[in-house]
Amino acid sequence: MEIRLEGHYGYGRLMRSAVPLIAMMVLISLYSIVDGLFVSNLVGTTAFAALNLIWPALGLVAALGLMVGSGGAALVSKTLGEGDRPRANRYFSMFVEFILLLAVVAAVPLFIWMEPLAVSLGAEGEMVRQCVIYGRICAAGMPAFMMQMGIQPFFMVAERPQMGTYVSLASGLVNIGLDALFIIVFKMGLAGAAAGSMLACCVGGFAPLVWFLRQPAETGLHLGAVRLEAAPIVQAATNGLSEFVGNISFNIVSMCYNLQLMHFYGENGVAAYSVILYLGFIFIAVFMGYNLTVTPLVGFNYGADNRAELANLLRRSLKLLLALGVVLTATAELAAGPVARLFVGYDPELTALTVRATRLYSPGFLLAGIPLFISAWFTGLGNGPVSAAVSFCRTFVFELACVFLLPALFGAGSIWFSACAAECFATLFGAILLLRFRGRYGY
């Protein structure tokens, strides 16, 4: 299937272009799900809770790669829209090199301070030891983890979204195979889950670099050796700020969920929330895959001054995302029982809590794609601060407030409604910003 940034995008062309990147993001989301499935059923509830307690902190650091990648992809696609391929290739190469440098710098303190980090997140006793085991192995693999996140947005810019699917499928199969080998055969426990994930990230993060190195600089997105330049890196980081803010906000909110749930429900609450997050990872991955498709299209058409196509992309995207929200919400309600039994079926009490919590949480998926898209929309337009404001408010302001206020006002069970309430507020806020900036960008 041939993909091009230029030209008119109807519903069919949008979905055909988005499916490979949606599949890529869903496959990547399966990494932690596969780990959780193996750990929960074969290692135990404490290890399962430890994995999910420390994972948000790891995701917070890895989000730096997505920040540079998302902001850089928008800048590269805009430069291609302006007709300057040599400069676009130079920018791309700089962003890849900077992600690797950033990963090494970030991984060292994360590795050293893993134990006090686990304690600060609420881990106690054996749970601390399990967090440190998993977290330090992932910190050692941070360059691969961060590169995998950072390279994702460039597949659509390179007009090869299907390559992202193939790479993610390969790395996902490696992850499953290594988890089985390390946990079942070698009895490595949580350490095996971490090692399997990080080795799989090497496939997802480094294999695409070989392909980009071999692309002709005259016609493709080419990776070459360049010197780092401050201005485009700062521009990319500023432009991708929303993705970073959204990820760190999500991970901080997850930590706060865990703290509240440890208080109200103990380890069972964290385990139930972990299962909901696994389901959420897949559903949010659908929206993120769509956004990875549209953001370069927005940047390209903005660079080419094609305002009519910008308006077309906005209108069709909002309708598609609402339809996807309905489908995903219905799926979550129907899948609550089977998914709970898959992960925690060995504990009837925990299974019942997980089913009930999932059904209360799932209406939030109905609108979740809209604020995520609005944030990506402004990233494509090169307006990083507005994009970041949407991401920040969606999670850090609205959802964090609901996590603490709803249980205080209506009791512990209302915590499961926090995401739904936050998505309603975020959608309203995003709609206001779309209208506010409509005159400036002409969509």
The secondary structure of residue 293, as a DSSP letter, is H
DSSP 3-state assignment of 9? coil
Handedness of CA 30, 35, 38, 44 (dihedral sign): negative
Our CA angle for 222, 10, 433, nearest 5°, is 85
Q: pLDDT tens track of the chain, all 443 residues?
A: 567 888 899 999 999 999 998 988 888 787 668 788 899 889 988 998 899 889 878 988 888 998 999 889 989 999 999 999 999 999 999 999 999 999 999 999 999 999 999 999 888 889 999 999 999 999 999 999 999 999 988 998 998 988 888 998 899 899 999 999 999 999 999 999 999 999 999 999 999 999 999 999 888 899 998 889 999 999 998 888 777 777 777 777 887 888 898 889 887 888 899 889 888 889 999 999 999 899 999 999 999 999 999 999 999 999 999 999 999 999 999 999 999 998 888 889 999 999 999 999 999 999 999 999 999 999 899 898 899 899 889 988 999 999 999 999 999 889 999 999 999 999 999 999 999 999 899 88
- pLDDT at residue 240, as a whole number: 81
Q: Looking up tokens 């903005």, which residue turns up?
A: 302
Alpha-carbon span 131 to 137, nearest angstrom:
10
Helix (H, G, I), strand (E, B) or coil at 305: coil
Alpha helices in 141-266 (DSSP H): 142-151, 154-157, 161-179, 190-213, 230-239, 241-264
**Per-residue model confidence (pLDDT) at position 32:** 66
Delimit the domains of the chain by residue range: 11-441
Distance CA(440)–CA(380), nearest Å, equals 14
Residue 295 vs residues 15, 104, 270, 402, 409: alpha-carbon distances, Å: 14, 28, 34, 30, 39
Distance CA 182, CA 107 (A): 23
Q: Tokens representing 281?
A: 């990872």
Distances (CA, A) of 349 to 2, 101, 273: 51, 46, 14
For residue 306, the 8-state DSSP code is -
User: How far does Cα 340 stand from its chain's mean position?
Assistant: 22
**Per-residue confidence (pLDDT) for residue 190, from 0 to 100:** 94
- Look at residues 38, 1, 100 and name the one whose alpha carbon lies nearest to residue 343: 38
Residue 274 is predicted with a pLDDT of 85
| Of the candidates 28, 19, 17, 25, the residue with the CA atom closest to the CA atom of residue 203 | 28
Q: CA 135 to CA 154: how far, in whole Å?
A: 28
Model pLDDT, residue 209: 96
Q: Are 186 and 177 in contact (CB under 8 A)?
A: no
- In contact, 406 and 273? CB cutoff 8 Å: no
